[in-house]
Amino acid sequence: MRGKSKMEGRGAHLCFTIIMILLAASPFLVSSTSMIQFLGKCICYSIVAIALDLIWGYTGMLSLGHGIYFCLGGYAMAMYLRLRDNGGTITEFMQTGGLSELPLFWKPFLNFPLALFLIIFIPGLLAAVLGFFVFHSRIKGVYFSIITQALTWAAYSLFIANSKYTGGNNGITDFTSLFGSTRGNANRGHLLSMFFLALAALIIVYVLASFLVKSKFGKILIAIRDGENRTYFSGYCVNNYKNFIYTLSAVLTAIGGALFVNFNGSITPSQMTIAFSITMVIWVAVGGRGTIIGAIIGTFFINLCEYNLSSGTLASIWQYIIGAIFCITILFFKGGIVGLVKRQFSSGIQRSKTKKEAA
């Protein structure tokens, strides 16, 4: 059993290495800057999917509100970039809202190191506080999902209502990436710098997640998923483990959001909607939850489907197609793409052994 686990781990790492090599080579094989930006967004989404897989696939906590952490990281980075490009002056939506000077909570984002700290600190603090009250109250299952969903809806309403501080429905727009403008072939160098920064971040997150789930800590997370009460009565402080991994997941999601805005050039409350949080769940489910590599595969698969189906003759029904893929996966392929490949691989080995024994 241990040998099989090692083989699966090596297979996952090999698959990840191949994906990274293909992604690293893609900017030199693709001439379209829009395609490179799209792949960059998928890399950022993959970080988010890994973060969600840590709490859902390995700990059994289904969050339907990770969009709030994605947006908190995205807004924090966008605020810094907007102020940098503005020269530290107030934005147009602030002027429209009647403000004459920069709001107090915007001022820390004038400083890049402080902005980076807040990208991690704010989502982490919110998740830690929420997790403390939720997990110590022994709230779990569907009730946990509903609470995260309600929190996201409340945050969405708050950001929409305070348009003079957040930009309302339009969000924060008209800013360039950390390295400058990424639009057009003239700025291809800036785009490639941003692309490889995001790729490096994905590699670090994958290595960190893989280390965690293979360690004793990861084994306890799986034990919590498979039998929380049994783990609790075995002497482990389940609440602390759940709160830690939930907070870490929120921080990783925020980092994905912060990188995402550099490719997207804007951040809006639409990324905070419940629908977007459910889309994250679809990425993990289709790829194969509880595998880490499945989160990456599912993210690229679903987003490539959306990219190709959302234009042309299927533009009006592409969302139904994605929904059908999700439903079929849940009903017939619970292990997702990775689970399907594992079963086919195991069946192939078994057939090969049978043939050898028969011969």
Residues 36-49 have pLDDT tens digits of 999 999 999 999 99
Strand (E) positions, the chain? Answer: none
Per-residue pLDDT of the chain (359 residues; tens, 9 = 90+): 454 566 667 888 999 999 999 999 999 998 889 999 999 999 999 999 999 999 999 999 999 999 999 999 999 999 999 999 999 899 999 998 898 899 999 999 999 999 999 999 999 999 999 999 999 999 988 999 999 999 999 999 999 999 999 999 999 998 999 998 888 888 899 999 999 999 999 999 999 999 999 999 999 999 999 999 999 998 899 999 999 999 999 999 999 999 999 999 999 998 898 889 999 999 999 999 999 999 999 999 999 988 888 777 777 888 888 888 888 887 887 788 888 887 776 666 566 666 666 65
Look up residue 91 and give its DSSP letter: P
Q: Dump pLDDT digits (tens) for 220-270.
A: 999 999 999 999 998 899 999 999 999 999 999 999 999 999 999 999 998
Asked whether 71 and 271 are in contact (CB, 8 A), the reply is yes
Strand partners, 267: 172
Q: pTM of the predicted model, to two decimals?
A: 0.93
The contacts found for 323-326 with CB under 8 angstroms, 24 or more apart, are 325/286, 326/282, 326/285, 326/286
Q: Single out the residue of 90, 89, 47 nearest to residue 70, CA to CA.
A: 47
What are the residue ranges spanned by the domains of the chain?
A: 2-273
Would you call 314 helix, strand, or coil by DSSP? coil
Distance CA 195, CA 176 (A): 14
| Helix and strand numbers, DSSP H then E, in the chain | 15, 0
Tokens representing 351 are: 């057939």
DSSP 302-351: HHHHHHHHSSSTTTTTHHHHHHHHHHHHHHH-TTHHHHHHHHHHHHHHHH
Q: 318, 338 in Cβ contact below 8 A? A: no
